[in-house]
């Protein structure tokens, strides 16, 4: 499984298929988006591919300013679509409803997964963790690597008598959101005292800025335990562990295991946290990265005319269908079919001044192709 993950990483770029250009007439528009930095490389790749497909007519300007900024600009209606690793809060969803008279959708785009990374002299890849040991260590209750709880999960591994030094993200991040959401679901004490969010009040540990900051602490500190995006851990040769999921299976983190985590019922508005998934083979520390888009496109002040609304709808539909073929070459997980269906249903309800542009666009593409 590890090989399966690494292979596409290195094949990336070279294997990008040259998209057949479309014969359709596209309005010449620039689609403005902003938000999470985690899916930014993927959105940029989608944008390039899509520009080629539309013979340069539709360009996408995506600014990787962070989920917080993405949500804020989306709520202030200065962008046509946002991207976020945290779902819209109830308050924001409600505010969007009063502002635009319709729903604000959390459209699944891809999945993010978080690996438990560590640096223990003499211990290699694949140390086994469960909810108890991860939460215990990050709460500061398990303080040494040779703790009986960790040892019990890893018979045959010689664990040194070394203090555990926790490394966490100091910047607000979707990775932290997914990781702390997992801890909140699996550990009552964590839920009561810390909770989840893109920034939390960490009980112990050193904060590093960005994936690279945490990786830096982990790699330079013997005895460090942290968490990173799986892609980042793989590309930078950081040792990471396997995690026992809710069904009791030990899961090796991989793009497939992450996709499998989404094999659960997804609600209509898309707002579901996949952490501690019920899926038997799913990796438990994973979550969606969402696109944010208003149901009533005409009520978003950033969208000026019908052409822009139609092209945005088309681009979003392309992302969740054809666009998904690029994901794995860039080490992003592919949306599972259920999630794709939910996303398609959302897109089909998009409207411009009451006209169902979503339905029209999808029907047209299904009938005539790209």
Of the candidates 290, 288, 291, the one whose C-alpha atom is nearest the C-alpha of residue 277 is 288
Nearer to another protein, 189 or 366 (CB): 189
From the list 112, 208, 253, 270, which residue makes contact with another protein (rule: CB under 8 A)? 208
Beta bridge partners of 163: 144
* Footprint on residues 221-260 left by another protein (CB under 8 A): 221
CB 285 within 8 A of CB 262: no
Question: According to the binding rule CB under 8 A, does residue 63 interact with another protein?
Answer: no
CB of 56 to another protein, least distance (A): 31
For another protein, the closer of residues 69 and 241 by Cβ is: 69
Pick the closer one to another protein by CB: 184 or 329.
Answer: 184
- Closest CB 288 distance from another protein, rounded Å: 16
Q: Please state, in angstroms and as integers, the Cα–Cα distance from residue 284 to each residue in 106, 236, 262, 333, following that order.
A: 21, 22, 10, 14
What the block records as the tokens of 159 is 């664990």
Q: Is position 199 an interface residue for another protein (rule: CB under 8 A)?
A: yes
Q: Candidates 196, 283, 288, 294: give the one binding another protein (CB under 8 A).
A: 196
* Two tokens, residue 107: 């459209």
Considering only residues 5, 42, 54, 66, which one is a binding residue for another protein as defined by CB under 8 A? Answer: 66
- Minimum distance of another protein from residue 62's CB (angstroms): 15
CB of 347 to another protein, least distance (A): 24
Q: Do residues 78 and 302 touch, judged by C-beta distance below 8 A? A: yes
The span from the CA of 267 to the CA of 57, in Å, is: 35
Quote the least distance from Cβ 191 to another protein, whole Å: 10
In the bound state with another protein, the residue whose beta carbon lies nearer, of 84 and 333, is 84
Binders in 92-111 for another protein, by CB under 8 A: 92
Taking the C-alpha atoms of residue 65 and residue 229, their distance in angstroms, rounded to an integer, is: 18
φ, ψ of residue 99 to 5 degrees: the values are -75, -40
Min CB(170)–another protein separation in Å: 3
The answer to the question of residue 43 lying near another protein (CB under 8 A) is: no
Among 63, 77, 154, 206, binds another protein (CB under 8 A): 206
Handedness of CA 180, 173, 67, 257 (dihedral sign): negative
Q: Which residues contact 141 (CB under 8 A, 6 or more apart)?
A: none
138 with 166: CB under 8 angstroms? yes
Under the criterion CB under 8 A, does residue 41 sit at the interface with another protein?
no
Note whether 272 and 266 are within 8 A (CB).
Answer: yes
CA 105, CA 101: separation in Å to the nearest integer?
13
Binding stretches for another protein (CB under 8 A): 37, 65-69, 71-72, 84, 86, 89, 92, 163, 165, 170-174, 194-203, 205-209, 213, 216-217, 220-221
């Amino acid at each position: 499984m590890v090989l399966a993950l690494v292979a596409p990483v290195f094949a990336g770029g070279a294997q990008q298929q040259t998209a057949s250009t479309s014969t359709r007439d596209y309005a010449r528009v620039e689609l403005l988006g902003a938000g999470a930095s985690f899916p930014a490389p993927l959105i940029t790749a989608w944008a390039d591919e899509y520009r080629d497909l539309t013979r340069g007519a539709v360009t996408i300007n995506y600014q990787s300013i962070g989920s917080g900024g993405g949500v804020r600009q989306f709520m202030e209606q200065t962008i046509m679509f946002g991207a976020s690793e945290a779902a819209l809060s109830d308050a924001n969803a409600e505010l969007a409803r009063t502002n635009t008279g319709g729903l604000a959708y959390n459209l699944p785009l891809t999945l993010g997964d978080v690996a438990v990374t560590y640096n223990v002299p003499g211990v290699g890849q694949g140390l086994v963790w469960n909810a108890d040991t991860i939460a215990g260590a990050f709460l500061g209750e398990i303080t040494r690597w040779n703790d009986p709880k960790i040892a019990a999960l890893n018979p045959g591994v010689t664990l040194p008598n070394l203090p555990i030094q926790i490394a966490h993200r100091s910047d607000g991040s979707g990775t932290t959101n997914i990781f702390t959401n997992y801890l909140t679901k699996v550990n009552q004490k964590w839920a009561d005292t810390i909770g989840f969010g893109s920034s939390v009040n960490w009980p112990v540990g050193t904060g590093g800025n960005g994936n690279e900051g945490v990786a830096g602490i982990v790699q330079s500190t013997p005895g460090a335990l942290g968490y990173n995006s799986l892609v980042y851990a793989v590309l930078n040769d950081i040792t990471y562990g396997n995690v026992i999921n809710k069904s009791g299976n030990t899961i090796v983190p991989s793009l497939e295991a992450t996709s499998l985590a989404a094999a659960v019922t997804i609600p209509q508005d898309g707002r579901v946290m996949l952490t501690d998934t019920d899926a038997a083979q799913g990796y438990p520390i994973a979550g969606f990265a969402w696109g944010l888009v208003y149901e009533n496109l005409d009520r978003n002040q950033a969208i000026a005319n019908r052409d822009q609304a139609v092209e945005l709808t088309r681009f979003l539909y392309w992302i969740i269908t054809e666009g998904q073929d690029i994901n794995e070459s860039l080490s992003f997980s592919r949306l599972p079919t259920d999630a794709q269906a939910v996303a398609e249903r959302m897109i089909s309800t998009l409207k411009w001044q009451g006209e169902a542009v979503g339905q029209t666009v999808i029907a047209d593409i299904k009938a005539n192709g790209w």
